[in-house]
Amino acid sequence: MGSDIAQDGSLQLLEISESFIYARALHLAAELKLADLLADGPRPTAELAEASATRPAALYRLLRALAGRGVFTEVETGRFGLTPVGECLRSDHPRSVRATVAQAGRLTAKTFNHAEEVLRTGEGAFTTAFGQPVWDYLQEHPDEGADFDTAMHEHSRIERDAIVAAYDFSGTARLVDIGGGDGTLLATVLTAHPETAGVLFDLPHVVERHRIGDAGLTDRCEIVGGDVFGELPAGGDLYMMKSVLHGWTDREVVSILTGCRRAMKPDGTLLLIERVIPVGDTPHSSKAFDLAMLVMAGGQERTQDEYTELLTEAGFRVERVIGTDSSLSIVEAVPTGAAL
């Protein structure tokens, strides 16, 4: 019995250890846009190799490995097609994650080479890996910055329906999305609620790439470029921040929250939309994201208690925490007393 468990334990550990090989293979498949090359159906490896400037024999081994994980399928020897899972790696798929996966290969994987240093110092390693802090790097490398925005768009596209289903946005007069990226989530809420006006707030070079116009909402949505540590758009009755606070330390989070408190109406509401870490050993994507945020930026995912503590310090009271049909939860908070 004991030795069976040990045997299973060994295999499980090896599986976890080897999973990085599949992760790296998937990053490469996304970077080489292999799924786009298969959009019209299965093709021989030689054609895919020519189109991706790779060696056929080497590419075959990558495709075969990922076929073993359900991404591609070898329909006949040396000829590969996409599975329904692999379809989501196509750039034009409505639930595509290609940009996210490719960028994880370029940025996250490289930064994780410095993870041991992070454990010793507690400081994020992006600057060590790339020579400057992440937001500066994305600004100075516009192609990488645009890819980051696309990756965030991909996340929001997958998550937005679950958020809109979980929270009742009706009756909101002015909704302010702080760190709203290209406006994917805000556009979804505004489309569902014609009575609501929106404000998209993010760094100036990021809001330049907004998608509010694509949704035909420019007449109902202000686009504001600025710094989340500076003055925030005032007068909203609902403020939201999705996947923003996890990038910052506790001190920085309190400063951002205090800025929101100052900007919002006294009877306003704040929504933090984040991966809230469940207590105990429950498997949850927040735990891997948390480690990634530490290694990348010195940020963190947080438990409900940790969010409550930071919100309290910034002059808010948590009303409720609402689960969604995604890995995100919505922490709803309201101001207590006068702004700090």
Query: Which residue in 311, 301, 304 sits closest to 333, CA to CA?
Result: 311
Choice from 181, 236, 299, 315 touching ligand SAM (CB under 6 A): 181
Q: In the chain, which ranges are E strands?
A: 43-44, 72-76, 79-82, 174-178, 197-202, 221-225, 238-242, 269-274, 276-277, 302-303, 316-323, 329-335
Rg over CA atoms, the chain: 22
Query: Which residue in 17, 22, 26, 18 sits closest to 105, CA to CA?
Result: 26
- Which of 51-59, 96-104, 240-248, 320-328 is the region at the interface with ligand SAM (rule: CB under 6 A)? 240-248
242 interacts with ligand SAM by CB under 6 A: yes
> Which token pair is 312?
């309290």
- Which of 58-66, 174-182, 258-266, 316-324 is the region at the interface with ligand SAM (rule: CB under 6 A)? 174-182
274 interacts with ligand SAM by CB under 6 A: no
296 interacts with ligand SAM by CB under 6 A: no
User: Between 179 and 233, whose beta carbon lies closer to ligand SAM?
Assistant: 179
Q: How far is the CB of 135 from ligand SAM (least distance, A)?
A: 5
Choice from 37, 197, 203, 215 touching ligand SAM (CB under 6 A): 203
309 φ, ψ (degrees, to nearest 5) = -65, -45
User: Between 47 and 140, whose beta carbon lies closer to ligand SAM?
Assistant: 140
Catalytically active residues, by annotation? 246
Q: How far is the CB of 256 from ligand SAM (least distance, A)?
A: 9
Q: Do 309 and 335 form a contact (C-beta atoms < 8 A)?
A: no
Residues, the chain, total?
A: 340
CA 60/CA 34 separation, integer angstroms: 12
180 interacts with ligand SAM by CB under 6 A: yes
> Which token pair is 205?
């070079």
Q: How far is the CB of 201 from ligand SAM (least distance, A)?
A: 7
Angle among Cα 189, 163, 33 to the nearest 5 degrees reads: 90
- Which of 30-38, 148-156, 208-216, 257-265 is the region at the interface with ligand SAM (rule: CB under 6 A)? 148-156
Q: Which residue has the tokens 């498949």?
A: 29
Q: How many chain residues bind ligand SAM (CB under 6 A)?
A: 16
> Which token pair is 124?
């994020």
Q: Do 144 and 138 form a contact (C-beta atoms < 8 A)?
A: yes
Q: How far is the CB of 172 from ligand SAM (least distance, A)?
A: 17
Residue 47 CA, distance from chain mean position: 33
150 interacts with ligand SAM by CB under 6 A: no
175 interacts with ligand SAM by CB under 6 A: no
Choice from 152, 175, 272, 318 touching ligand SAM (CB under 6 A): 152
Q: Do 19 and 69 form a contact (C-beta atoms < 8 A)?
A: no
44 φ, ψ (degrees, to nearest 5) = -70, 150
228 interacts with ligand SAM by CB under 6 A: yes
179 interacts with ligand SAM by CB under 6 A: yes
Binding residues (CB under 6 A) for ligand SAM: these are 135, 152, 155-156, 179-181, 202-203, 206, 227-229, 242-244
